[in-house]
Amino acid sequence: MRAMTTSSNHPPAPPSDPGLTRREAIAVGTVAAAAAVAGAAEPDRAGGGRAPLAVASENGLAAVARAVQRMEAGLAPVEAAVEGVALVEADPEDVTVGYGGLPNSDGVVQLDACCMDGPTMRAGAVAALEGFRHPARVAYEIMRRTTRVLLVGEGAARFATSLGFEAENLLTERARKIWLYWRGQMSAIDDWMATPDLIEDPDVQWFIHEHGAIAPQGTINLCAVNAAGELGGTTTTSGLFFKIPGRVGDSPLIGAGLFVDNEVGAAGSTGRGESVIQIAGAHTIVELMRAGASPRDACLGALDRLVRATRVPYLLDADGRPNFDVKFYAVTKAGEAAAAAIWAGAKYALCRAGEEARLMDCASLYPAPPPWLPRT
């Protein structure tokens, strides 16, 4: 394996892989080389090379702060990441993760999560888990206590119960009303109606305003690196709103919603999971960084690959661009970090030791999103 190049003083050789697109080739060679020749600072390397550091999706501002605190207290990055996202999993206001997450089409909250430890490359994951608000902690225990990686459905629930995780109803009143509204307005020829009191309900109005009529998905990904350059990460979600029961997205799939390799870095995703799965998104980012790309260019290179893999008409707008969003997040062993989205305007959360957590602009492939694009 090729060693990672982290210094702009030593730009990597251009890639020899003939399968790389121009944008991917730029990602792994030309940009870094140009910056080095000019002696320029690399503005995309938001981590600044100082660790410990944590990066997350926009809903992870408090989570990155907690993850950095936990790493400073001596927790491994993977455990610090899982403890960081626990804040969001427990937050009923976040309808995309854990307790309060929007349910599947049957009105049942099914959660997906994974975690991965860079030094050992061990991983744990759960999919379609019902009744436990901290799926990332359950995934962590699978990683820690078993020789397996992924447990699903009832088996995952039984595993959680065996370890003393408390089962509970995760469907909040707010999420239930939003689901009833969704069911009532799906079709004029089924048996369900969205009554005026439901439509006017403040929680339903909030949902319509924030998420529109199209069913999107939200998630939290958090990647972390400590002062020793050890990496870890986690991704946790309630998945696509009103999904087909049993549907599993990218979040619990190692290599798609998360990938961590202590030789290189960590990466994760939020957004339309099926599209991330199709290109093994997080793994692709780590491999682009292994070849020398900065986190920003690796995220953009993977998004470029994802867009080129999006070929079915129902996923394209009138200009042939994706009618959805995906965001990628990446951090290197040296503490460099960035994120990128298909559409401009997205933010991500970043915290490094000794500093306040803050929101940063994601790089993007395309300018401002069209008004119909759901927030993810």
Spell out a b/e string for 63-89, using b for 16 or more CB atoms within 10 Å of the CB, else e.
bbbbbbbbbeeebbbbbbbbbbbbbbb
Which residue number, 50 or 247, has a Cβ lying nearer to ligand GLY? Answer: 247
Which residue number, 229 or 239, has a Cβ lying nearer to ligand GLY? Answer: 239
- Contact (CB, 8 A) for 143 and 122: yes
| Residue 240 near ligand GLY by CB under 6 A | yes
Which residue number, 6 or 275, has a Cβ lying nearer to ligand GLY? Answer: 275
Question: For residue 52, what are its two tokens?
Answer: 């410990």
| Residue 310 near ligand GLY by CB under 6 A | no
Exactly one of 6, 57, 234, 251 binds ligand GLY (CB under 6 A); which one?
A: 251
Which residue number, 141 or 250, has a Cβ lying nearer to ligand GLY? Answer: 250
d(CA 283, CA 15): 17
| Residue 270 near ligand GLY by CB under 6 A | yes
Residue 237 Cβ vs ligand GLY, minimum distance, rounded to whole Å: 5
Q: Which residues contact 142 (CB under 8 A, 6 or more apart)?
A: 124, 125, 126, 148, 149, 150, 151, 159
Backbone φ and ψ of 66, nearest 5°: -65, -40
Which residue number, 5 or 235, has a Cβ lying nearer to ligand GLY? Answer: 235
**What residues from 215 to 234 belong to the interface with ligand GLY (CB under 6 A)?**
217, 219
Cross-strand pairs, 339: 329
d(CA 367, CA 86): 33
Question: For residue 306, what are its two tokens?
Answer: 């994802």
* Residue in 6, 172, 219, 270 annotated catalytic: 219
**What residues from 178 to 217 belong to the interface with ligand GLY (CB under 6 A)?**
217
| Residue 135 near ligand GLY by CB under 6 A | no
Helix, strand or coil for residue 224?
A: strand
Exactly one of 11, 84, 249, 281 binds ligand GLY (CB under 6 A); which one?
A: 249
- Phi-psi bin for 21: left (phi > 0), alpha (psi -120 to 50), beta? beta
Residue 222 Cβ vs ligand GLY, minimum distance, rounded to whole Å: 14
| Residue 89 near ligand GLY by CB under 6 A | no
Exactly one of 59, 237, 284, 364 binds ligand GLY (CB under 6 A); which one?
A: 237
Told to judge if 235 belongs to the known catalytic residues of this protein, a careful annotator would answer: no
List residues near ligand GLY by CB under 6 A: 217, 219, 237, 239-240, 249-251, 270-273
Catalytic residues: 219
